Structure 1
Amino acid sequence: MNGICTGRVAVVTGAGRGLGRAHALALAAEGAAVVVNDLGTGPGGEGGTGDPARRVAAEIADRGGRAVAHTGDIATTEGAVSLIATALETFGRLDALVNNAGFVRDRMLVNLDEDDWDAVIRVHLKGHFLPLRHAAAHWRAQAKAGRAPDARVVNTTSGAGLSGSVGQANYAAAKAGIVALTLVAAAELARYGVQVNAIAPAARTRMTEQVFAKAMAAPADGTFDAMAPENVSPLVVWLCAADSTGVTGQVLEADGGRIAVMEGWHPGPITDKGDRWTPSEAGTELRRLLTQTRAARPVYGAG
């Protein structure tokens, strides 16, 4: 297969279903060899079978592409090391890492168990950090050996991480953490030839169907399916390709035919007394400043 990723090797986590599967297939269609990672758990992280990863790898092979399944837990050091090693041992190189794996355990904050908090933070945030950390170590070694990489990382955040989402405190916190991780990694790894970006997709997956079933339903009349996971993958493929040179440290929303560049935190209205405020003065001045601010996007599910 020829395309904008011909000759490149990409790893995609959580690639057995949904967005990850769409990314893996799209990367392969553009010429990439793909490591298809999926632990094969249920929607809340229960159980585990490697069948989804193996099915996607076989699907890529049936279409004339190159792929290998990896069924390890990438939120462990052993699993993350094995993931990177699989790419290097099978295909001889690593050019792109797409961190996508995750699940949800939704509860209102006062009902959220510590185990549900830990499990979601672990799979999303730690499950981004460990593959990124070990891929970055490989790319740094390559750069120091005089073989400068042209590497890419695409992390997966969410609107929940950017705006908050009622009933998803654990998920929103993890996804917000991924944004910060992306910004730090982009700054630290640029010297080694690595670009790091994040996408906040909106698409129909096992996770979103539980929360937004009606909004995520496929249209029955055959019109454009704005919530199809495949709509997000072209941007991911481009971010993994050499064509994306110079684009790093960005957070991008993607859904349907829409791409938005998120501008992040910037100082808004500012005041400076030049001396210490009293509590009453600080409160009065803050209320005045708030009248000058741009309205924030509402928290998902609020009101």
Structure 2
Amino acid sequence: MARLCEGRVAIVTGGARGVGREHCLMLAEHGAKVVVNDLGGDRSGKGNDVGPAQQVVDEIKAMGGEAVANGDDVSDWNGAKHMIEQAVEAFGKLDAIVLNAGILRDRMLVNMSEDEWDAVIKVHLKGTFAPARHAAAYWRDQAKLKGGPVDGRIITTTSVSGIYGNIGQTNYGAAKAGIASFTIIAARELGRYGVTVNSISPSAFTRMTEDLREYSEEDKKRRDPKWIAPVATWLVSEDSREVTGRVFQAGNGIFAVAEGWHKGPTVDQIMDPVQAGKVLGEIARKARKNAGMNGLDLD
């Protein structure tokens, strides 16, 4: 079997369970050396235990691969920096970072607490920014030393809750929509260094989603986290170097590319608010309606 990531070094955040674990195992199966990052908390972000990350490391070593565990908090500036440094110290370089760590604190907007908002935004948005920023700085420096582009990869994790919108998740959805935008902008910024930036929107049955609704056995099979790992593995590989700034959906029986915001019906601007309102109402009715949670049905 061809090994897509032979000799590549990748960090996977939130790598101890669910989707992250499957990323780690498939990357190792395809020859990558893996830093398995996981704080080891519950799905709300409380607690810490490096044990689950070490268990994945042990699994990888048992299959003949190379891996190390990391328990840094992805949303901590210095912890994120240490994560990059650990990869380089352990394996001599860094080729990719898969930003998968996340938590849930779902609540309807009228009942959401400040802490529920802050905790989710911190883990998802800052937990994407901080490791990506330190990895990007590393690759910029490597490009300068090399005198040309490197072959780096940043893979973020978004969600249909953000790119399409899901009731009860204003915090999580806002963070995930922000990550999708972060991906597009970072891709434009880092291309000069030979770094691609893409995002995955997974549909997977994990501890994060198991109690959101009733799942049939067929649902669970279609949403097995293993279906997400091929996308991450290909994006980490050198084969994906021509693709950047994209959001891929994976799981629930499909691979798809999510298409972002586009300008709709347009008119000349008007100063009078009454007249402006008539025109705005008209073009709003003409515009394509927002997608539903499957990305196709209209609200």
TM-score, normalised to structure 2's length? Answer: 0.94
Deviation at 1:81, TM superposition (A): 1.1
C-alpha distance in 2 between matches for 1:282 and 1:252: 37
Q: What secondary structure does 2:221 align onto? A: coil
2:195 is aligned with 1:194: yes
C-alpha distance in 1 between matches for 2:100 and 2:20: 6
Deviates more, 1:287-296 or 1:33-42: 287-296
The Cα offsets for residues 203-233 of structure 1, whole Å up to 9 and x where unpaired, read as 0111111213x13x4339xxx8111000011
Partner of 1:63: 63
C-alpha distance in 1 between matches for 2:222 and 2:218: 9
- Whether contact under 8 Å (1:232, 1:256) holds in the other structure is no
Deviation at 1:2, TM superposition (A): 6.0
Partner of 2:94: 94
Deviation at 1:111, TM superposition (A): 1.1
Partner of 1:73: 73
The Cα offsets for residues 72-104 of structure 1, whole Å up to 9 and x where unpaired, read as 112101210111011100000100100000110
Letter in 2 for 1:31: G
- Whether contact under 8 Å (1:2, 1:31) holds in the other structure is no
Partner of 2:164: 163
- Whether contact under 8 Å (1:218, 1:227) holds in the other structure is no
- Whether contact under 8 Å (1:11, 1:96) holds in the other structure is yes
Residues 121-200 of structure 1: pairs in structure 2 closer than 5 A: 121-146=121-146, 148-200=149-201
Runs of 4+ residues deviating >2 angstroms: 217-220
Deviation at 1:277, TM superposition (A): 3.6
Q: Residue 266 of structure 1 is aligned with which of 262, 265, 282?
A: 262
The Cα offsets for residues 49-86 of structure 1, whole Å up to 9 and x where unpaired, read as 11110000100110111111101112101210111011
C-alpha distance in 2 between matches for 1:299 and 1:257: 15
The Cα offsets for residues 114-147 of structure 1, whole Å up to 9 and x where unpaired, read as 1111111000000000000000010000001126
Distance change (3 Å), C-alpha of 1:71 and 1:218? farther
Letter in 2 for 1:45: G
Partner of 1:283: 277
Deviates more, 1:78-87 or 1:286-295: 286-295
Partner of 2:228: 232
Aligned-residue Cα RMSD (Å) equals 1.9
Letter in 2 for 1:169: T
Q: What secondary structure does 2:223 align onto? A: coil
Q: What secondary structure does 2:86 align onto? A: helix
Identity %, equivalent residues = 50
C-alpha distance in 2 between matches for 1:4 and 1:218: 31
Q: What secondary structure does 2:104 align onto? A: coil
2:242 is aligned with 1:246: yes
Deviates more, 1:76-85 or 1:130-139: 76-85
Letter in 2 for 1:244: S
TM-score, normalised to structure 1's length? Answer: 0.93
The Cα offsets for residues 229-257 of structure 1, whole Å up to 9 and x where unpaired, read as 00011011101100012100111111134
C-alpha distance in 2 between matches for 1:99 and 1:246: 20
Letter in 2 for 1:77: W
Q: What secondary structure does 1:196 align onto? A: strand
Deviation at 1:282, TM superposition (A): 1.4
C-alpha distance in 1 between matches for 2:253 and 2:292: 22
Deviates more, 1:73-82 or 1:7-16: 73-82
- Whether contact under 8 Å (1:219, 1:225) holds in the other structure is yes
The Cα offsets for residues 122-176 of structure 1, whole Å up to 9 and x where unpaired, read as 0000000000000001000000112631011110000011122111111011111
C-alpha distance in 2 between matches for 1:247 and 1:272: 36
- Whether contact under 8 Å (1:166, 1:299) holds in the other structure is no
The Cα offsets for residues 173-194 of structure 1, whole Å up to 9 and x where unpaired, read as 1111111111111011111110
Partner of 1:293: 287
- Whether contact under 8 Å (2:160, 2:293) holds in the other structure is no
Letter in 2 for 1:104: L
2:105 is aligned with 1:83: no
Deviation at 1:287, TM superposition (A): 2.1
Letter in 2 for 1:145: L
Q: What secondary structure does 1:291 align onto? A: helix
Deviation at 1:299, TM superposition (A): 6.0
